[in-house]
Amino acid sequence: MSPDNKPILTISKVIKRFGGFHALDGLSFHVVPGEILGLVGPNGSGKTTAINVISGLYAPDGGEVVMDDVSIGGMASHKLVHRGINRTFQVPKPFMSLTVRQNIDVALAYGRASAAPPAMAALLDEYRLAEVADRPAADLNNVQQKTLDLVRALATGPRLLLLDELAAGLNPTELDWIAERIKALARSGIAIIVVEHLMGFIEHITDRVIVMNAGKEIFEGTLAVAVKVPQVIEVFLGGEHAV
Amino acid sequence: MPSSLKHLLFIVAPLIVLLAVLPGVYQNHLLLFNFVIFLVLAQGVNIIYGFTGYLPFGYVGFFGAGAYGFAIMVMHFQTPAVLAVLVGGLVGVALGLLLTPLLRLSGAYFAIANLAASLAVLHFVANPALENITKGPYGVSLTGTFNPNMAYAAAVVVLALTLGAVVFLKNSRFGLALQAVREDAVSASMAGVNVVKMRVIAWLASALVAGLAGGVYAWYVSVFYPDNVFSGDFSIFAIVFALFGGVATICGPIVGVIILYGIYNLIGFTTPQYFQLIYGLLIMGLVLFLPAGLVSLATRRGWHVP
The tens digit of pLDDT for each residue in B201-220 reads: 999 999 999 999 999 999 99
> Who among B173, B187, B192 is closest to A112 (CB)?
B192
Q: What is the ipTM of this complex?
A: 0.91
Amino acid identity, position B132: N
Show the 3-state SS of B242-257.
HHHHCCCCCHHHHHHH
Q: Which residues of A touch B190 (CB under 8 A)?
A: 55, 77-78, 81, 86-87, 107, 152-153, 156
B194 contacts A109? CB cut-off 8 A: no
Burial of B62 from C-beta contacts in 10 A (0-12 / 13-18 / 19+): buried
The tens digit of pLDDT for each residue in A170-228 reads: 999 999 999 999 999 999 999 999 998 888 899 999 999 999 999 999 999 988 888 88
Answer whether A142's CB lies under 8 Å from A170's CB: no
What would the mean pLDDT of A5-9 be, rounded to a whole number?
A: 90
Q: Sign of dihedral through CA atoms A187, A188, A192, A198?
A: negative
The answer to whether residue B74 scores a pLDDT higher than 90 is yes
Answer whether B195's CB lies under 8 Å from B181's CB: yes
The tens digit of pLDDT for each residue in A195-206 reads: 988 888 999 999
B173 contacts A107? CB cut-off 8 A: no
Answer whether B52's CB lies under 8 Å from B174's CB: no
Cα B195 to Cα B178: distance, rounded to the nearest angstrom: 8
The tens digit of pLDDT for each residue in A32-48 reads: 999 999 999 988 899 99
| pTM of the model as a whole | 0.90
> Who among A55, A97, A111 is closest to B192 (CB)?
A111
User: CB contacts < 8 Å between A and B, how many?
Assistant: 78
Pick the more confident residue, A240 or A121. A121
Q: How many CA atoms within 13 Å lie on the side-chain side of B26?
A: 12
Burial of B232 from C-beta contacts in 10 A (0-12 / 13-18 / 19+): middle
